[in-house]
Amino acid sequence: MDDIIVRQYTEGDEYEITDLLTISGTHLRTAVYWRWSNIKTPFSRSICVVLEAHDKTIIGHYSIMNVKLFFNGDVYNAGFGGQLVIHPQFRNFKLLWKLLNFAWEKCKENKIDFVFAFPNANIWPIKYNMMNWKLVNEFKSLELNISDSFGNGKDDVLSSQLEFERITNLGDFENTIDRLWNENKINMKSKIYIEKNFRFVSWRFFRHPLHHYPFFLVKNNGKYVGWVALKLYNKNSMSYGHIVDVVALGKDHYIWIVKEAVSFFKKYNVNILSLWCGENLKKLFKELGFKETGFSTNFGIKIINNVPETAMDINAWDLTMSYSDAF
């Protein structure tokens, strides 16, 4: 074990990293995906560290995406931790500790304030009990059985005025996406959020090399008032839908955008619809039939230099599925 070194990523490592991710999990991963998530982000380049065996084989990997988070007029240099993997033949706490401590040191050098992540149930006890991670919350996604759901509400005045426009080329709507975000974030001053401007939306939903996201702009009386990004997938003979993210100018628009999304999913015989949302919207969705019965997620923070006290309150986050690389 003493001949295993830890170092930063160098050009070309992504091919062996992809080999490692492929043999260690069930999710499809490619070198193109790795570069999309670590090199070609709308933020600065990720901090990526690897474990290297004596024969130069990469046997471990961890990446921390540099993310600008905004809260109450302040900007925080945060990191999103992900893609933690160690070769099955080399898994032990000593190597895990070596890899992650090196990553934390690089975070300090790069003036990262804190790292946030959604660790799975296997790694979370280690991070929490031995690596000084703080639990923000363990939460369940809101879930809707579409067969039991509400209708699309076309008899409602607002819904009758809404128009969903499927977008396949976002480049024609750069100014629209930026305007919607700038108008929306006025109401986000008390939230911790990522800038969901054109650069983010284009990268996250239109350039993702693995996932397909139906994306819609929403008009009310001829004016764009929001957008929604959706996802479809199948698992164990069941069809699932995710509302990955929504930007809407007002709660009423938000609710009716979700209702229209349900109508979209119904067309494709989706059984279960899931989403994440803040506490301010949760009550509204429960009234529409959503229940907190979905998959469970650990949300944790590793403090490196500085973290706003509010970050330990999950209700302070503008938390949507687009924050996680799992969706």
* Sign of the dihedral defined by the CA atoms of residues 206, 207, 211, 212, in that order: positive
DSSP symbol at 206 = I
Across 138-142, average pLDDT: 93
Predicted pLDDT at 152: 47
- DSSP class per residue in 66-97: EEEEEETTEEEEEEEEEEEEE-GGG--HHHHH
Check which CATH number belongs to the domain holding 222 and give it.
3.40.630.30
Neighbours of 303 (CB within 10 A): 14
Of 138, 173, 195, which residue is a domain's last? 138
Strands 114-117 and 74-86: parallel
In a domain, 325, yes or no: no
* Interatomic CA distance for residues 226 and 316, integer angstroms: 22
pLDDT digits (tens, 9 = 90+) for 71-121: 988 999 999 999 999 999 999 999 999 999 999 999 999 999 999 999 888
pLDDT digits (tens, 9 = 90+) for 299-309: 999 999 988 88
Of 90, 120, 138, which residue is a domain's last? 138
Instruction: Write out the residue range of the structural domain in which residue 58 sits.
Output: 5-138
Predicted pLDDT at 155: 44
Residues 161, 269, single domain; the answer is yes
What is the band of 287 on the pLDDT scale with cuts at 50, 70, 90? confident
In a domain, 110, yes or no: yes
Residue 160 has pLDDT above 80, yes or no: no
Query: Between 308 and 34, where is the model more confident?
Result: 34
Residues 253, 123, single domain; the answer is no
User: In three state form, how does the secondary structure of 16-40 look?
Assistant: HHHHHHHHHCCCCCCHHHHHHHHCC
Is residue 326 within 8 Å of residue 298, measured between CB atoms? no
What is the band of 156 on the pLDDT scale with cuts at 50, 70, 90? low
* Interatomic CA distance for residues 281 and 254, integer angstroms: 9
Residues 57, 102, single domain; the answer is yes
34, 50, 234 from 179: Cα distances, Å: 30, 40, 35
pLDDT digits (tens, 9 = 90+) for 86-100: 999 999 999 999 999
Predicted pLDDT at 157: 45
Half-sphere exposure of 121 (CA within 13 A, CB side): 4
Residues 289, 152, single domain; the answer is yes
User: In three state form, how does the secondary structure of 90-136 look?
Assistant: HCCHHHHHHHHHHHHHHHHHCCCCEEEECCCCCCHHHHHHHCCCEEE
Helices (H), the chain: 13-24, 31-38, 93-109, 124-130, 157-161, 174-184, 198-201, 251-267, 279-287
Residues 161, 288, single domain; the answer is yes
Q: Of 19, 94, 12, 22, which Cα lies nearest the Cα of 48? A: 12
DSSP symbol at 45 = P
Q: Report pTM.
A: 0.92
What is the band of 326 on the pLDDT scale with cuts at 50, 70, 90? confident
Residues 216, 92, single domain; the answer is no
Q: Of 26, 27, 47, 324, which Cα lies nearest the Cα of 204? A: 324
50, 137, 299, 321 from 312: Cα distances, Å: 30, 8, 10, 18
